Amino acid sequence: MDEKVPELLDLTKKLLDQAKEIVTENFPPSQSLDFKKARYSIFLRVQMSEALKFGYGAYYSCKQGWGHGAIGAARSIYEILLDIKYINQDETLKEERFTRFVDHGAEHLYHEMQIMRLLEPKVSKEDIEEREKAFEQLKKYYKDKHEQDVKSGVPKTKATSRYRPYNWAGIDLSEKVKKVNIDNLDKFHQFYKYLSNLSHVSIGKTLDGITGFTENQYKINLKLYPSLDHCYIVFIVVFPCIYWILEEYMEYFGIDLSHYPNLEKIEEDYKNLLKEEDNQNESY
């Protein structure tokens, strides 16, 4: 698998550069917009740009041979994809889900204020009280809405989800995966969980460092040198997730795919590369 990493690196860079070109060429001039009308447009532009920044981060980490630095970026890109797909999964629920996403800005601002207090103790009392109040209102609103749904006869599984910290949707990622319509997404979720495990210094990683032992002596390989470790699985996640996010972006903003013929060529080359890998695996 590792021998495919240079080609995956090249194709991912081409995809990132093409996506960046599409975003910058189709960005409207600055103008005053009504936030309520434009908020999904703003959301999608920001999410696309964040995915690209994480994508370039993963690319340059692996290009230098430090796959560990790309793991978090790959996970974040996958989470961005899930958020976009989950919001758009059901047209009748889109506005409700997106409103929930925006509402949870109160949680972000509250935690941001907590960090500001650590870095700059002179945060005004008014700012603290304002953000604490908004955060409490957020929690209360979704708690009350959940209870109202249940009282009115809505099954608990379909009632509005309560507030959950650091979780705007109120459901687990695995539940989002079940609701989102992408072929083989459950496979990508397994990759995501594997990368999540790698991103923590788990007992598994500790045991992996032990390469052998004799009586009263262990052999340990700390691998403190550049290598292609983890880069293959990183790009197996990064490339398709960036592509799917870009598809959502282009469809929403009405960007004509025929204006960017290289994009289809890049995708085709990626599929052929993986097909070669599958054929090689079947031959064993």
DSSP state string for 208-268: HTEEEEETTEEEE----S-B-TTHHHHHHHHHHHHHHHHHHHHHHTT--GGG-HHHHHHHH
The residue among 80, 79, 76, 60 whose CA lies nearest residue 231 is 60
CA distance 64 to 93: 43
Q: What is the pLDDT of residue 8?
A: 95
CB neighbours of residue 183 within 10 Å: 7
CA distance 103 to 215: 60
Amino acid, single-letter form, for residue 21: E
The C-alpha torsion from 190 through 196 and 202 to 207, rounded to 10°, is 50
pTM: 0.87
DSSP notation for 177-225: HHHS--TTHHHHHHHHHHHHHHTS--HHHHHHTEEEEETTEEEE----S
DSSP character for 67? T
Q: What is the pLDDT of residue 28?
A: 63
CB neighbours of residue 119 within 10 Å: 7
Query: How many Å is the Cα radius of gyration of the chain?
Result: 22
CA distance 192 to 244: 16
Q: What is the pLDDT of residue 229?
A: 79
Q: What is the pLDDT of residue 219?
A: 77
Q: Block means of pLDDT (10 residues each) for the chain, length 284 residues?
A: 88 97 79 71 94 98 92 96 94 92 93 86 84 94 95 91 92 90 86 87 69 75 74 95 96 92 95 76 38
Q: Count of residues for the chain?
A: 284
Q: What is the pLDDT of residue 37?
A: 67
Q: What is the pLDDT of residue 120?
A: 75
3-state helix, strand, coil in the chain (%, to 5): 70, 5, 25
CA distance 260 to 257: 5
Contact yes or no for 234/58 (Cβ under 8 A):
yes
Main-chain dihedrals φ then ψ at residue 217, nearest 5 degrees = -150, 130
